[in-house]
């Protein structure tokens, strides 16, 4: 009986690891201002946040950026069906926008919006890890 309980606890622990939220991980942005970045998204508070971990120029060379480490995805709260709502910070103009994301497999459509969500600019990010 003791072995069965230990096995059950171990299986439940591994199941928790296997079911990470789809938004968690490292994502590559589309080019913006001549650069692309890797963003690590992880739990924070009641939602998910993402910070720049590495920046590349368009030829793929790693470059240093004053924005490395900046949190650009903020408080993205799951809405169900792969949808999230929160905030998006754009370092190029130092503005914070109402944000929304839609995750589908290894792609995420991330949007920063103004005017109550009527006007949005979007990028499609690819999951790299």
Within-domain flag for 93? yes
Within-domain flag for 1? no
pLDDT bracket for residue 19 (50, 70, 90): low
Within-domain flag for 3? no
Within-domain flag for 13? no
Q: What is the pLDDT of residue 4?
A: 39
Within-domain flag for 32? yes
Among the listed residues 99, 91, 108, the one whose alpha carbon sits nearest the alpha carbon of residue 35: 91
Among the listed residues 123, 125, 97, the one whose alpha carbon sits nearest the alpha carbon of residue 112: 97
**Tens of pLDDT along 30-74?**
998 889 999 999 999 999 999 999 999 988 899 988 889 999 999
Within-domain flag for 102? yes
* Residue range of the domain that includes 44: 23-127
Measure Cα distances from 70 to 88, 114, 115, 125 in Å.
11, 21, 25, 17
Query: What value does the mean pLDDT take over residues 107-126?
Result: 92
CATH number, domain containing residue 48? 2.40.128.520
Backbone CA torsion sign across 28, 54, 33, 88: positive
> How many domains does the chain contain in total?
1
């Amino acid at each position: 009986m003791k072995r069965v309980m230990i096995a059950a606890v171990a299986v439940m622990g591994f199941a928790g690891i296997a079911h990470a939220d789809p938004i968690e991980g490292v994502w590559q942005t589309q080019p913006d201002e001549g650069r692309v970045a890797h963003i690590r998204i992880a739990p924070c508070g009641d939602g998910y946040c993402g910070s720049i971990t590495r920046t590349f120029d368009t030829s793929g060379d790693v470059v240093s950026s004053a924005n490395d480490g900046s949190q650009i995805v903020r408080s993205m709260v799951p809405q169900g069906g792969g949808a999230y709502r929160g905030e998006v910070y754009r370092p190029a103009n130092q503005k914070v926008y109402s944000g929304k994301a839609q995750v589908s497999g290894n792609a995420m459509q991330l949007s920063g919006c103004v005017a109550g969500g009527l006007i949005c600019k979007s990028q499609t990010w690819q999951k790299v890890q």
